[in-house]
Amino acid sequence: MKIIELSNETKQSILDDLLKRSPNNYTQYESTVNEIIENIRTNRDQAVFDYTLKFDKFQLTPDNIKVTRAEIDEAYSLLDTKLIEVIKKSAENIHTFHTKQLRNSWFDFQEDGTILGMKITPIARAGVYVPGGKAAYPSSVLMNVIPAKVAGVGEIVMTTPPGADGKVNPGTLVAADIAGVDTIYKVGGAQAIAAMAFGTQSIPKVDKITGPGNIFVALAKKAVYGYVSIDSIAGPSEILVLADETANPRYVAADLLSQAEHDELASAILITTSRELAEKVSAEVDGFVKVLERAPIIQKSLDNYGYILLANNMEDAIDAANEIASEHLEILTKNPFDIMTRIKNAGAIFLGEYASEPLGDYFAGPNHILPTNGTAKFFSPVNVDDFIKKSSIISYSKEALSKVHKDIELFAENEGLTAHANSIKVRFEE
């Protein structure tokens, strides 16, 4: 891996490189995505069937678009029973963690008759997109669905592309069943996003769409935002390891590569105050790449977006980490909890040498659907709040309003909104 001295110039150069991976930079595909969306809005089921035949080589009909209970049972028979048990354990951990995020409606009562509050209501219907083929990840099914279930969403539908034989990845089906999906549709790509956003004869319109996908899926989610809510526009995966001389170089190298193997646009960065650690990590990375299965993808990722940054001190290292705002941040230092208190921007923070990134991906319980491309500065992981909405509650007695009505009238008149002012005045006419 490239070892570079950390400076304001090198930091800015890396930030510029990382931002090039944003889906916002793939505007050449927007016209294709918009055409698909408009076709779905106009022709509904028929457009869905046509695109599925074109892209997935399977002839959908109203009779086979839904996954049946028999297909789900078959999926269980195709999976290793030990894997099924692991999925169940993971689901339980995710459920437990997200249950702690639940909030209740609240009301504040004053003696003069003022009542203020917040009414919390789950959304009625959520849509989850799950990639197919080689990019099928049952863990992501759990991470999307379980927070919605905990929030109390009334109905959860899932779309995922079929193979040419009309089958859906068995791991996806088992995870969806364990997580509690209500209905699964055999539809993928931008057409699936459009179908959930606007509804077709077979697929109901949803209120929110979550889930990862390729660039066409990401751009489709961006295009339908406003008609429905979405989780985020996900970019390529990334990891940043913040380490000092006490870190184990073999652990650091292994953790960096856990994200580099995702795809050629993935980013893996080490920021350290120790040149010795930097050199040892670089050597360990070279050794791992020779034996790992996805070595060509890993090497391309490292060549383009892999860096080892040497910082003069830990303060500079922390500042750089906050600027990069990585999706995954591991802290491998003498006192990781102290460093954590100074981290402002990260999707998920992993503390200590036994909290490696895959622990969060699969099992611990916190959500692995995280902000990427620096958006951790203003976005959060998928959580229960993503599946609820809040309504303000306001009730005043005549006594309470009489104390403040002239203030409200003055404010409204100052803004030139005399009908607003009049709405208050009429309640106090002689």
User: Please, which pLDDT band fits residue 412 given cuts at 50, 70 and 90?
Assistant: very high
Tokens 């002689």 belong to residue: 430
- What's the whole-number mean pLDDT along residues 2-29? 85
348-391 tens-digit pLDDT: 999 999 999 999 999 999 999 999 999 999 999 999 999 999 99
d(CA 428, CA 318): 59
Confidence of residue 257 (pLDDT cuts 50, 70, 90): very high
Mean pLDDT on 117-126:
98
* pLDDT confidence of residue 232: 85
Q: Tell me the DSSP string of 183-232.
A: EEE---HHHHHHHHHH--SSS---SEEE----HHHHHHHHHHBTTBEES-
- pLDDT higher than 90, residue 187: yes
Pairwise CA distance, residues 90 & 142, whole Å: 8
Q: Quick check: 190 pLDDT over 90?
A: yes
**pLDDT of 263:** 86
Q: Are 247 and 276 in contact (CB under 8 A)?
A: no
- What confidence tens digit (pLDDT) does each residue in 20-56 have? 887 777 778 899 999 999 999 999 999 999 999 999 9
CA 148 to chain centre: 13
So what's the pLDDT on residue 40?
Answer: 98
Q: Is the pLDDT of residue 134 over 80?
A: no
- 213-227 pLDDT tens trace: 888 999 999 999 999
> Is 136's pLDDT higher than 90?
no
- Which of helix, strand or coil describes residue 4? strand
**pLDDT tens-digit map of 163-173:** 999 999 999 99
Q: What are phi and psi of 392, to 5 degrees?
A: -75, 145
Pair of tokens at residue 316: 């500079």
Q: Which letter does DSSP use for residue 168 in this model?
A: -
Q: Is the pLDDT of residue 133 over 80?
A: no
Contacts of 347-356 with C-beta under 8 Å, sequence gap 24+, read 347/371, 347/372, 347/376, 347/381, 348/381, 353/247, 353/248, 353/251, 355/330, 356/251, 356/254, 356/255, 356/258, 356/330
pLDDT at 23: 73
Instruction: Kindly tell me if the per-residue pLDDT of 240 is higher than 90.
Output: yes
What DSSP assignment string belongs to 70-98?
HHHHHHHHHS-HHHHHHHHHHHHHHHHHH
For the chain, the average pLDDT equals: 95
Q: How confident is the model at residue 143 (pLDDT cuts 50, 70, 90)?
A: very high
Report pLDDT for 95.
Answer: 98
Helix, strand, coil percentages (3-state) for the chain, rounded to 5, are: 50, 15, 35
The partner residues of 156 in beta bridges, in order of sequence, read 126
DSSP character at residue 326: -
Show which residues are catalytic: 327-328
pLDDT 10s digits, 56-113: 999 999 999 999 999 999 999 999 999 999 999 999 999 999 999 999 999 999 999 9
Please give the structure tokens belonging to residue 36: 């698909």
Whether the Cβ atoms of residue 1 and residue 308 lie closer than 8 Å to each other: yes
What pLDDT sits at residue 235? Answer: 82
